[in-house]
Amino acid sequence: MADRQLVAVSAPGKVLLAGGYLVLDRKHTGLVFGLDARIYCIVQEILTSSGVVLSEISVQSPQFENAVWHYGYRWDGRDGGMHMSELRRDADLALSRNLFIETALCYALSYIGSVSSPIIAPASITILADNDYYSTPADLESTDRFHNFGVPISKAHKTGLGSSAALVTALTAAVLTHYLPTALLDIRSDIGKRRLHNLAQAAHCAAQGKVGSGFDVASAVYGSCLYKRFSPDILSSHAEPGAPGFASQLVATVDDIDSKWDTEITKAKVKVPEGLRLVMCDVSVGSQTPGMVKQVLAWRKANQEEADWLWDDLQASNDALAKELTVLAEADAKVAPDYSRLRMCFSAIRELIREMGEKSEVSIEPPAQTKLLDACEAVEGVVGGTVPGAGGYDAIALLIQDKQSTVKALKDLLEGWKFEGEGVGGGKVSMLGVREEMEGVRVEDLSGYESEYLQ
């Protein structure tokens, strides 16, 4: 076995700037940017007394109330992988399952047990999230690097930055790095990232109960990229943990980095020109994304020809946006940039998104968001913006000139902004402290983690 040193790994959040709904179809692509808001997973061995055998992994997320989970584990002799069971430490406390943590551990340990050894040493894991993953009430605002939100995770309002994908990716990468020697898997290598991507996709899909497009996991692994999804049948027919043959099938799926996985992840075509930056503005409301996606896809199925024309038009507008960003990034720095075509791209995308919403009767860009985006785009230095991903009331995304004056003008606009009507009256709007991040998963320097956060 590898030397089980204390390790820390982080993965970034995401924003699907262009390609919402389209990215579910292999015919189309999504322009996804990683964000510098990260989720960190720190793994350290639990030391036991001589002769004491312990099969336990404890997980804590100290920024939330009662966010502690203890798991027992045992190897299934029928090639069913690692069996996980949550342990009750207090008879008076009900178990509060976290399927993303539990599933990520099950899949990672099943893979490790298959390629290395099923004898897994006990460990403790600490999960820390940058504050911008969650809306922070004004009376709780602080300057802590990892804010204590004072509520259970289930009560914390997410800002829509892809916390579950970043969590599963960071946790999977940290556990692999902790238990496996780099000769078997190194997440800093191209092959290591491919295997991490495959394993994290499998675990994330299993945890959420469906095969999604996977763009959020891809950006957690690779950072900003142009993404075309994998064929759903790669994972849809996968055996369940505990079923005979699960472990062998998992290894075959993860290690098949050439033929089976037909996803396309391109980093070279995603660039942010010098002088521009991405910002996110949280509207403190949030959306029920699965329900919205289901309704849009139902409309598309019932109106295939009309929907195909709309999807193709939106893809062309998304491609134009990515191309114009690249053109500006590669332009002569001595010539003053012209952002007019970029503004036209954002305008075209927003118009088509609203059309999609009207036809499917889904509030992809609700009137309250339209009003907010229009006001933001009128601020000097704001190039354009969208309701990213599935839309609704998650944080909006803006591309702005990277000037302090533009940031200040935006903050001044948002300071007194409130939504009206649509059942979300009084929602505050605030600029998150995030920007684009080109880098994906990475091993972190442990010197930056205060001992108060560790078990």
CATH number at residue 287: 3.30.70.890
CB 183, CB 25: distance < 8 Å = no
Measured distance CA(226)–CA(218) in Å, rounded: 10
User: Is the domain of 205 the same as that of 298?
Assistant: no
Question: Which pLDDT tens digit goes with each residue over 304-321?
Answer: 999 999 999 999 999 999
Question: Which pLDDT tens digit goes with each residue over 166-218?
Answer: 999 999 999 999 999 999 999 999 999 999 999 999 999 999 998 889 999 99
pLDDT band at 141 (very low <50, low <70, confident <90, very high): low
What per-residue confidence (pLDDT) applies to 393? 86
Question: Which pLDDT tens digit goes with each residue over 53-69?
Answer: 568 999 999 999 989 99
Residue 447 has what DSSP assignment?
G
What per-residue confidence (pLDDT) applies to 89? 62
Tell me how long the chain is.
Answer: 455
User: Is the domain of 226 the same as that of 84?
Assistant: yes
pLDDT of residue 444 exceeding 70, the answer is yes
User: Is the domain of 22 the same as that of 82?
Assistant: yes
Q: What is the DSSP string of 261-311?
A: ---EEESTT----TTEEEEEEE-S----HHHHHHHHHHHHHHTHHHHHHHH
Measured distance CA(220)–CA(437) in Å, rounded: 10
Q: Which residues contact 374 (CB under 8 A, 6 or more apart)?
A: none
CATH number at residue 166: 3.30.230.10
User: Is the domain of 118 the same as that of 30?
Assistant: yes
- Radius of gyration, alpha carbons of the chain: 22
Higher pLDDT, 358 or 419: 358
* 3-class DSSP assignment, residue 364: coil
pLDDT band at 360 (very low <50, low <70, confident <90, very high): very high
Number of domains in the chain: 2
Q: What is the DSSP string of 1-34?
A: ------EEEEEEEEEEEE-TTGGGSTTS-EEEEE
Is residue 1 included in any domain, yes or no?
no
Mean predicted lDDT score pLDDT of the chain? 89
User: Is the domain of 72 the same as that of 127?
Assistant: yes
pLDDT band at 288 (very low <50, low <70, confident <90, very high): low
The secondary element (H helix, E strand) that includes residue 75 is strand 68-76
Question: Which pLDDT tens digit goes with each residue over 362-417?
Answer: 999 999 999 999 999 999 999 999 999 999 888 899 999 999 999 999 999 998 88
Distances in whole angstroms, Cα of residue 160 to Cα of each of 135, 266, 286, 367, 447: 10, 23, 7, 19, 29
Higher pLDDT, 142 or 123: 123
pLDDT of residue 266 exceeding 70, the answer is yes
The range of the structural domain enclosing residue 289 comes to: 276-437
Q: Which of 117-126, 143-152, 156-165, 318-327 has the highest mean pLDDT?
A: 318-327
Angle between helices 99-115 and 163-179 (to 10 degrees): 30
User: Is the domain of 173 the same as that of 259?
Assistant: yes
User: Is the domain of 202 the same as that of 331?
Assistant: no
What per-residue confidence (pLDDT) applies to 2? 41
Q: Which residues contact 290 (CB under 8 A, 6 or more apart)?
A: none
pLDDT of residue 1 exceeding 50, the answer is no
Amino acid letter, residue 278: L
pLDDT band at 38 (very low <50, low <70, confident <90, very high): very high
Residue 158 has what DSSP assignment?
B
Higher pLDDT, 45 or 276: 276
Measured distance CA(199)–CA(213) in Å, rounded: 15
Q: Residue 324 corresponds to which tokens in the numbers above?
A: 């114009």
Q: Once rounded to an integer, what is the mean pLDDT over residues 134-156?
A: 75
Is residue 412 included in any domain, yes or no?
yes
Measured distance CA(276)–CA(273) in Å, rounded: 6
User: Is the domain of 169 the same as that of 250?
Assistant: yes
Q: Once rounded to an integer, what is the mean pLDDT over residues 72-84?
A: 92
User: Is the domain of 210 the same as that of 290?
Assistant: no
What per-residue confidence (pLDDT) applies to 279? 96
Is residue 2 included in any domain, yes or no?
no
Amino acid letter, residue 148: N
CB 389, CB 13: distance < 8 Å = no
Residue 421 has what DSSP assignment?
S
